[in-house]
Amino acid sequence: MSQALKAIFETNPYTNLAPYLQALDEKGQKELILSLLGRDDIDLECFLKSNLESEGLIFKVLKEEGIEYIDIDSIRLVNVLILPQEFLPAIVVEVLPKQKHLKLIAPNFINPFHKLNITQSINDKFKDYKIDFCVCSHHMLQKINKALKFKYESKEVDITSILSYATLLNASDVHLVKQAKEASFYIRLDGVMQFIRKLGVNNFTSISKQLKLLSDVDITNRFNAMDGHFGIEIDSKTLDTRSSFLALKNGESIVLRLPSLKTKDFSFKDLGLDAKFIELLKDSLQAKSGLILISGPTGSGKTTTLYTCLEYINKGTKKIVTIEDPIEKEIANISQCEVKENFGFEVALKYVLRQDPDVIMIGEIRDKETLALALRAALSGHLVLASIHSSSVFSTIQRLRNLGAKKYILKATLRLFVSQRLLMTKCLECEGEGCVSCYFSGLGQRRLINEYLPFSSEIDYIMESLSALESFFKANAIASLESQAKELLAQGIITKGESLI
């Protein structure tokens, strides 16, 4: 490398390489790239940022030196942020205990002195592990460094940084908990709670006040539970966030429910539903009137099932109106309205009935008034889809009766009951032992199971007797939730805890 070239990069190692690389042969290009990355003061993120157009060549040169390019997908990104990062600024990407193998991104992996130092530090903790040095794209390295700075370096955090971190990992919920003299920040990923970091008590108090102001709830109320919602712009995206505040004996619990930013259209097959039930559901959705109820606890996928039903119906030939809290996914050609203070499900449904709808979707039947209006709508020639909190088909029937529904009205309106669960399976890669694919939790994808009852006036006797319902299930080869869970347990797909429906 010429003295003139050395002088240019000696002054500024982050000078764009592209014009100089074009003038060099392959050997000269390699020499220039390695000389810069071998400097004591080089910052890998800054170096890649100034050479985005040359990343491909840089990664090729590094591969020849045994530095692997690693694609940081969403699973790896989560692992990077969940793994204890004890060797910063070197970033541990993967730890595979069975194979005694570790992968990391180090800022000075070309410099022999720095490479030896980090290797010795890691060997003190991970004895006899094979260590692979890696590099990733500037885009992902920037994301990782930003998130790690939030997790390990920031003394004080704010609402924006908390939500930015949570949405980066596609978390469904944020949990902020203060108990006595300590506070913690958790997120829920794929149904599993993950601890992120501790928070200062004063920092928590400040965040709590800001969230209450945003949620338009009483900031002076320190004893009663409160719910709210607010919109906030995070990383150029608007999040419509639901908030819940619960006073504890020695503190407070705050939960923020985040909208899914990974909206995906599902088919019935994608949900894992069996062919027999899919045909039954499609037949029910083609009806002009009646009530289809999807039941299950929170987090059982009721909203996803309802959206999939709407997508199936939405052919442009019917007026479809939804009432939701909140709207979790916008669907073209469907009129979607959101409940607000003084505009709950009951009030919204009264106005929706004046919109000449063919199909009405109610996000949740919570009270007698909403149920009464839903049944009236089903009786007057509308197809009504709704969710309700109950644990089984039979408990759904009982819940409707407890909410004041008359038996003769239920006989005239009910079309299909569905009760469902999402069960957490064991990770297929490690069979529950813990690996990179499952964030080292041992858990795999969630599996949907359901039981269902196609209702008609001929089988109204089922309303009065659980044993009658069980006999009907047996005669029609419909598996109950309990029997499906027991079968999955016997096959080793789920744990004992998950099988306890």
pLDDT in tens, 381-438: 999 999 999 999 999 999 999 999 998 999 999 999 999 999 999 988 788 877 766 7
pLDDT band at 113 (very low <50, low <70, confident <90, very high): confident
Residues 209 and 280 in one domain: no
Q: What is the mean pLDDT of the chain?
A: 89
Q: At a CB cut-off of 8 Å and minimum separation 6, what does 279 contact?
A: none
Q: What is the pLDDT of residue 460?
A: 80
Residues 120 and 189 in one domain: no
What is the C-alpha R_g of the chain? 28
Percentage of the chain modeled with pLDDT above 70: 98
Q: Could you check whether the bond before residue 107 is cis, i.e. omega within 30 degrees of 0?
A: no
Residue 99 inside a domain? The answer is: yes
CATH number of the domain that 443 lies in? 3.40.50.300
Burial of 145 (0-12, 13-18, 19+ CB in 10 A): middle
DSSP H stretches of helix in 52-158: 55-64, 74-82, 112-125, 138-148
Least confidently predicted of 30-39, 107-116, 314-323, 384-393:
107-116
Judged against a pLDDT cut of 90, whether residue 23 lies above it is answered with no
pLDDT band at 465 (very low <50, low <70, confident <90, very high): confident
Q: Rounded to whole angstroms, how far apart are CA atoms 374 and 363?
A: 11
Please provide the DSSP assignment of 401-441 as one string: HHTT--HHHHHHHEEEEEEEEEEEEEPTTTTTS--GGGTTS
φ, ψ for residue 106, nearest 5 deg: -115, 140
Please provide the DSSP assignment of 260-307 as one string: PSS-----TTTTT--HHHHHHHHHHHT-SSEEEEEE-STTSSHHHHHH
Q: Rounded to whole angstroms, how far apart are CA atoms 234 and 66?
A: 38
> Is the distance from CB of 305 to CB of 294 less than 8 angstroms?
yes
Residues 251 and 285 in one domain: no
pLDDT band at 147 (very low <50, low <70, confident <90, very high): confident
Element (H, E) at 6: helix 3-11
State how far Cα 315 lies from the chain centre. 29
Q: Rounded to whole angstroms, how far apart are CA atoms 110 and 32?
A: 12
Percentage of the chain modeled with pLDDT above 90: 55
What's the predicted TM-score (pTM) here? Answer: 0.72
Residues 335 and 473 in one domain: yes
β-strands 226-234, 173-179 pairing:
unpaired
Parent domain of 396: 275-499
Judged against a pLDDT cut of 90, whether residue 72 lies above it is answered with no
Q: Rounded to whole angstroms, how far apart are CA atoms 138 and 43?
A: 11
Which has more pLDDT, 147 or 378?
Answer: 378
Residue 264 inside a domain? The answer is: no
Judged against a pLDDT cut of 70, whether residue 338 lies above it is answered with yes
Residue 236 inside a domain? The answer is: yes
Residues 233 and 339 in one domain: no
Judged against a pLDDT cut of 90, whether residue 485 lies above it is answered with yes
> Is the distance from CB of 405 to CB of 307 less than 8 angstroms?
no
Judged against a pLDDT cut of 60, whether residue 326 lies above it is answered with yes
Q: What is the pLDDT of residue 73?
A: 74
Q: Give the Å distances, CA to CA, from 282 to 246, 285, 462.
A: 41, 5, 23
Residues 230 and 359 in one domain: no
CB atoms within 10 A of CB 456: 10
Angle, helices 368-379/345-352, rounded to nearest 10 degrees: 20
CATH number of the domain that 237 lies in? 3.30.450.90
Residue 270 inside a domain? The answer is: no
Residue 65 inside a domain? The answer is: yes
Q: Please provide the size of the chain in residues.
A: 501
Residues 323 and 457 in one domain: yes
Residues 320 and 379 in one domain: yes
Q: Rounded to whole angstroms, how far apart are CA atoms 242 and 215?
A: 8
Q: What is the pLDDT of residue 262?
A: 52
Q: What is the pLDDT of residue 264?
A: 60
Q: Rounded to whole angstroms, how far apart are CA atoms 240 and 328?
A: 9
> Is the distance from CB of 171 to CB of 80 less than 8 angstroms?
no
3-state secondary structure of 381: coil
Residue 343 inside a domain? The answer is: yes
3-state secondary structure of 458: helix
User: How many structural domains is the chain composed of?
Assistant: 3
Q: Rounded to whole angstroms, how far apart are CA atoms 178 and 181?
A: 7
Q: Which two tokens stand for residue 330?
A: 């916008």
Q: Rounded to whole angstroms, how far apart are CA atoms 81 and 287?
A: 49
Q: Rounded to whole angstroms, how far apart are CA atoms 445 and 372?
A: 38
> Is the distance from CB of 291 to CB of 419 less than 8 angstroms?
no
Q: What is the pLDDT of residues 232-286, one digit of tens each?
A: 998 888 888 889 999 998 999 999 998 765 556 778 988 888 899 999 999 999 9
Q: Rounded to whole angstroms, how far apart are CA atoms 15 and 342?
A: 60
Element (H, E) at 165: helix 159-168
Residue 79 inside a domain? The answer is: no
Least confidently predicted of 71-85, 90-104, 339-353, 356-370:
71-85
Residues 123 and 176 in one domain: no
Residues 159 and 120 in one domain: no
Q: What is the pLDDT of residue 177?
A: 97
φ, ψ for residue 186, nearest 5 deg: -125, 160
Give the mean pLDDT of 295-304.
91
Residues 308 and 356 in one domain: yes
Strand order in the sheet with 443-454: 335-338, 320-324, 359-362, 383-388, 290-295, 414-426, 443-454
Residue 323 inside a domain? The answer is: yes
Residues 279 and 410 in one domain: yes
Q: Which two tokens stand for residue 115?
A: 């490479």
Q: What is the pLDDT of residue 156?
A: 87
Query: Could you report how far apart the first and last alpha carbons of the chain are, in Å?
Result: 70
> Is the distance from CB of 263 to CB of 329 less than 8 angstroms?
yes
